Structure 1
Amino acid sequence: MLFNSINFAIFLPIVFLLYWFVTKNNLKFQNILLLVASYYFYACWDFRFLFLLIFSTLLDYYSGIKIENSSSEKNRKFWFWLSIGINLGFLGVFKYYNFFVDSIKDVVFLFGHKIDLWTIKVILPVGISFYTFHGLSYVIDIYKKRIPVETNFINYATFVCYFPLLVAGPIERATHLLPQIKKKRTFNYAQAVDGLRQILWGLFKKIVIADNCAEYANLIFNNSDDYSGSTLIMGALFFTFQIYGDFSGYSDIALGTSRLFGMELLKNFNFPYFSRDIAEFWRRWHISLSSWFKDYLYIPLGGSVGGLKLKIRNTFIIFLVSGFWHGANWTFIVWGALNALYFLPLLLSNTNRNYMKIVAYDSNLPSFKELVSIIITFSLTVFAWIFFRANSLTHAITYIKDIFTSKLIALPEVRPTFVIVLVAIFILIEWIGRRNNYALEKMFTEKSVFVRWSFYFVLLFAIFIFSTKEQEFIYFQF
């Protein structure tokens, strides 16, 4: 079920009314309702993979209990590695098996041989990377004795399968979400209104910005041989705003939806395109994944505590794994490696934590130095996104090569004025609201009701106009 679908527009109010008016604030019934609703939400995509989700949930739930109750370290390790192995095994088979097989065949072919290896033909279970990481973090935290085991299956299953975040995040931690699931919740009008406002902004990002940019990004990337260098740059820019509007829009809808049910999810985006260096960008982009890798991979590897070689090694590992997490294609690995190269000078000069506060926090406009830093960082990000979007490494390299060899200075053949204006307005709204949790949070709240609601109706009208076709979110494929 898509957030930007009629089905969800019907589903959400029904669950909301049952949650607050039928369960009568009974915590047990509320959690059962959320779990059933979450299973239905997932089954609407493909009910067959619901059994995989339930199995993964049962595995981690039972493993957590066995780890907690084991009297010997040997048994604790057995259940820990059993859970880790099976979870990563499922992820490897569904997401990476064919990639490794094809890569082996390509390497063997380079040496003049040809082999036939069996590949699997199965669609990737939507959201598998996200709910697998929910379970992994829980089991790791139990094993490391950071949290107590959850013995109530309904509570644990709701944490893993909570429908606002089930398909594309944010990647939650048991330390953050489970206590909220176990705590009695009462309806908070201000929280619910704020949730609706964030849902509105998320839908605008997805339907008005991302989907319009996607039309031209797809046109240019899929026919890149036919266009000039300036048009290829436009294609990269369109994709840059497509992926941001698409993924941060999903996160906004997820966070807003969760607020309707009295729970707060982890913030996943914090105006990343206003970053002044790549380190700041990665503190503001897909925050839940970056922090997950930092806590469960980077720090266990030694983080930045050791010598220079260890710091460089760990930096490349975390970025390469992050790239590989996104998909089974060499383009994602190169994208991760490229971001590691961007990050390396900041790490070596110990300037990777220079910018902890949003740009121009105490002023309306950035300084000249800040503006230049933002433009440079944004340009590096746009360049890296070419690898992320391209169908293959060959496509990405050809795309970049054609930028610098074919009419770079000429006007782009594809320059939809209306979409460019929409993106410009979007950037302006994001800039004005950059000090808040999301751009719309406090916008016009001090103005009259007429002004505020006029603005909301303009957004709703734009969403209605452009919602003629339901388009999946990009991160469904991850």
Structure 2
Amino acid sequence: MLFNSIQFIAFFPIVVLLYFAVPKRVRYLWLLAASYFFYMCWNAKYAVLLLYSTAVTYFSGLLIDRCDKKNWSQRRKKFFVALSFILNLSLLFLFKYFNFAVENINFVLAKCNLEVITPQFDFLLPVGISFYIFQALSYTMDVYRKEIYVERNFLKYALFVSFFPQLVAGPIERSKNLLKQISTDNAFSYENFRRGLLIMLWGYFQKIVVADRIGILVDTVYGNVGNYAGGYYLLASILFAVQIYCDFSGYSLIAAGAAKVMGFQLMENFNCPYFATSVAEFWRRWHISLTSWFRDYLYIPLGGSRKGTVRKYLNVMIVFLVSGLWHGAQWTYIVWGGLNGFFQVTGNVLAPVRDKAGKLLNIKENSFGCRVFRTVTTFALVDVTWIFFRAASIHDALHMLKSILTVPNPWIFIDNSIYELGLSQKQFHLMIFSLAVLFAADWLKQKKVNLLEKVLEQDLWCRWTVYLAGILFVLIFGIWGNAYDAQAFVYFQF
């Protein structure tokens, strides 16, 4: 059940209406039932995996808490943490990485003139498995670190893991934020209601108007690598950077808005990432819930920056390589992660040189020109990594990069050939207009201007004019039709 489907448009009001209609003491039970129904609409049998991960981390939390109360050894406590991670990550490995591992083992064996037939695991990847397993594991770690009290109500904990707005594509919530809200009696609030719906509307704009329209052009080029030249690849790579941002940010906004309507506050997942002035800053703004997860549960346990500069940079590379693997069982994702890590490490290493050069040349770091230069440079580096992320193979990505550098063919922007990439001239111009709206909104947010508050503080007629204009714009100019299948949101595949 996609957020941008008729089914969800019917499902969501029913859930909200009954959530506030049933007695407060059983509201979490209604949300739990609705969340499992939501997930089972994808594939009912995979709800067993969701329940499995929930049960493993729930009982692990109880055992870890028991270790503290019984003064059992730290070693036993760590054993239960390790057991929770092993049982969950084994499930993730089986469904997501087993075939990838087998293929690479067979490749190595073939190079050694050895033929070994190893089994293939022929099952579809369960939707959202990487998200809900990471969310459940964060609970295990938080209980171990005594950052939260153990949750003894299994059904409330099950709702924390399966909360439908953010179940299949995040944000990856923390127990200290979402779990405690589940036990809160949320009274209906008109403020939450209208704010939530406006947040959802902006998410739908990003997804249906911007991302899905861009996706038509991007799919045309990336699906036919070899049939185009540099300028086309440059355009497609830049637009894909915007597409994946609007696709994923749009989902996160719809999730946050849906939760807000019911009185829940989800964490912010994106903060104008393409206004970052370094790759490190980009990753503090992009997919914040995943980045902070890796920081808290991988980077810091590895030693973070506490064990010297070399170890710090090694830890950064490990985190990004694992992040690439988290996104998918393909070498393109691993290269994408490795490049992001390399650019961040290189940026940190060269920072003193850059600062000295700036002082020597009397360049003001906070000047407008300097900020623009660093923002554009950062976007260019990130865009290079996105080429590997989107390309079907490393070979295709390298071909595109080579063609961009050697065959610029800028005339495609003036000879109308860009209108042969799946979007008519009218649709292309509408895309440009939508991008301008998106850029303006992010620029204002970057300048600490809260557009939501600006709209809500207007008088009744002005507010409703904005509401209706936004709804009509999405309905009229959104991309509707056969694009809405199980792959409609890019991050569903992770």
Matches within 5 A, 1:240-389: 240-348=241-349, 367-389=368-390
Matches within 5 A, 1:124-203: 124-203=125-204
Are 1:474 and 2:490 matched, yes or no? Answer: yes
The alpha-carbon deviation at position 411 of structure 1 amounts to: 1.9
Are 1:32 and 2:32 matched, yes or no? Answer: no
- Separation (CA, whole Å) in 2 of partners of 1:369 and 1:96: 43
- Separation (CA, whole Å) in 1 of partners of 2:149 and 2:182: 15
Match of 2:475 in 1: 464
- Separation (CA, whole Å) in 2 of partners of 1:68 and 1:432: 46
Match of 2:58 in 1: 61
Question: 2:135 touches 2:174 (CA, 8 Å); kept in 1?
Answer: yes
* Aligned-partner residue type, residue 254 of structure 1: A
Are 1:430 and 2:429 matched, yes or no? Answer: no
- Separation (CA, whole Å) in 1 of partners of 2:142 and 2:160: 14
- Separation (CA, whole Å) in 2 of partners of 1:225 and 1:132: 38
- Separation (CA, whole Å) in 1 of partners of 2:466 and 2:304: 46
- SS of residue matched to 2:43: helix
Structure 2 residue runs of 5 or longer lacking an equivalent are 356-365, 420-427
- Separation (CA, whole Å) in 2 of partners of 1:141 and 1:115: 43
The alpha-carbon deviation at position 183 of structure 1 amounts to: 2.0
- SS of residue matched to 2:195: helix
The alpha-carbon deviation at position 380 of structure 1 amounts to: 1.2
Question: 1:35 touches 1:154 (CA, 8 Å); kept in 2?
Answer: yes
Are 1:406 and 2:410 matched, yes or no? Answer: no
Task: Provide, for residues 211-251 of structure 1, a one-character-per-residue CA deviation record: whole Å limited to 9, x for no partner.
Answer: 00101000011112111211111111221111001000000
* Aligned-partner residue type, residue 420 of structure 1: I
Question: 2:230 touches 2:403 (CA, 8 Å); kept in 1?
Answer: yes
- Separation (CA, whole Å) in 2 of partners of 1:198 and 1:41: 21
Match of 1:449 in 2: 460
The alpha-carbon deviation at position 457 of structure 1 amounts to: 2.4
Please identify, of 220-229 and 458-467, the stretch whose mean Cα deviation from structure 2 is larger. 458-467
- SS of residue matched to 1:118: coil
Question: 1:304 touches 1:311 (CA, 8 Å); kept in 2?
Answer: yes
When normalised by structure 1's length, the TM-score is 0.92
* Aligned-partner residue type, residue 12 of structure 1: F
- Separation (CA, whole Å) in 2 of partners of 1:311 and 1:409: 42
Question: 1:197 touches 1:256 (CA, 8 Å); kept in 2?
Answer: yes
Match of 1:14 in 2: 14
TM-align CA RMSD? 2.0
* Aligned-partner residue type, residue 17 of structure 1: L
* Aligned-partner residue type, residue 45 of structure 2: R
Question: 1:201 touches 1:440 (CA, 8 Å); kept in 2?
Answer: no
Task: Provide, for residues 161-197 of structure 1, a one-character-per-residue CA deviation record: whole Å limited to 9, x for no partner.
Answer: 1001100000011111111111222222212211111
* Aligned-partner residue type, residue 456 of structure 1: Y
Question: 2:192 touches 2:262 (CA, 8 Å); kept in 1?
Answer: no
- Separation (CA, whole Å) in 2 of partners of 1:186 and 1:436: 30
* Aligned-partner residue type, residue 439 of structure 2: I
When normalised by structure 2's length, the TM-score is 0.89
Question: 1:274 touches 1:374 (CA, 8 Å); kept in 2?
Answer: yes
Question: 1:390 touches 1:396 (CA, 8 Å); kept in 2?
Answer: yes
What is the identity percentage for the equivalent residue pairs of Structure 1 and Structure 2?
42
Please identify, of 97-106 and 162-171, the stretch whose mean Cα deviation from structure 2 is larger. 97-106
- Separation (CA, whole Å) in 1 of partners of 2:394 and 2:162: 35
* Aligned-partner residue type, residue 204 of structure 2: L
The alpha-carbon deviation at position 107 of structure 1 amounts to: 2.1
Question: 1:433 touches 1:443 (CA, 8 Å); kept in 2?
Answer: no
- SS of residue matched to 1:414: helix
Please identify, of 34-43 and 462-471, the stretch whose mean Cα deviation from structure 2 is larger. 462-471
- Separation (CA, whole Å) in 2 of partners of 1:291 and 1:317: 15
- SS of residue matched to 2:411: coil
Task: Provide, for residues 115-141 of structure 1, a one-character-per-residue CA deviation record: whole Å limited to 9, x for no partner.
Answer: 322111110000000110111111112
Question: 2:212 touches 2:479 (CA, 8 Å); kept in 1?
Answer: no
Question: 1:433 touches 1:442 (CA, 8 Å); kept in 2?
Answer: no
Question: 2:272 touches 2:445 (CA, 8 Å); kept in 1?
Answer: no
- SS of residue matched to 1:442: helix
Are 1:417 and 2:414 matched, yes or no? Answer: no
- Separation (CA, whole Å) in 2 of partners of 1:88 and 1:53: 13
* Aligned-partner residue type, residue 64 of structure 1: G
- Separation (CA, whole Å) in 1 of partners of 2:141 and 2:86: 12
Match of 1:361 in 2: none
Match of 2:45 in 1: 48
Structure 2 CA distance for partners of 1:54 and 1:436, relative to 1, 3 Å: farther
Please identify, of 63-72 and 162-171, the stretch whose mean Cα deviation from structure 2 is larger. 63-72
Match of 1:359 in 2: none
Please identify, of 122-131 and 100-109, the stretch whose mean Cα deviation from structure 2 is larger. 100-109
Aligned residues: 462
Match of 2:424 in 1: none
Question: 2:317 touches 2:338 (CA, 8 Å); kept in 1?
Answer: yes
- SS of residue matched to 2:303: coil
Please identify, of 176-185 and 455-464, the stretch whose mean Cα deviation from structure 2 is larger. 455-464
- SS of residue matched to 2:406: coil
- Separation (CA, whole Å) in 2 of partners of 1:451 and 1:189: 18
Please identify, of 366-375 and 72-81, the stretch whose mean Cα deviation from structure 2 is larger. 72-81
Question: 1:338 touches 1:384 (CA, 8 Å); kept in 2?
Answer: yes
The alpha-carbon deviation at position 407 of structure 1 amounts to: 4.1
Task: Provide, for residues 443-474 of structure 1, a one-character-per-residue CA deviation record: whole Å limited to 9, x for no partner.
Answer: 43444433333333232123213242225211
- Separation (CA, whole Å) in 1 of partners of 2:350 and 2:292: 22
- Separation (CA, whole Å) in 2 of partners of 1:219 and 1:379: 22
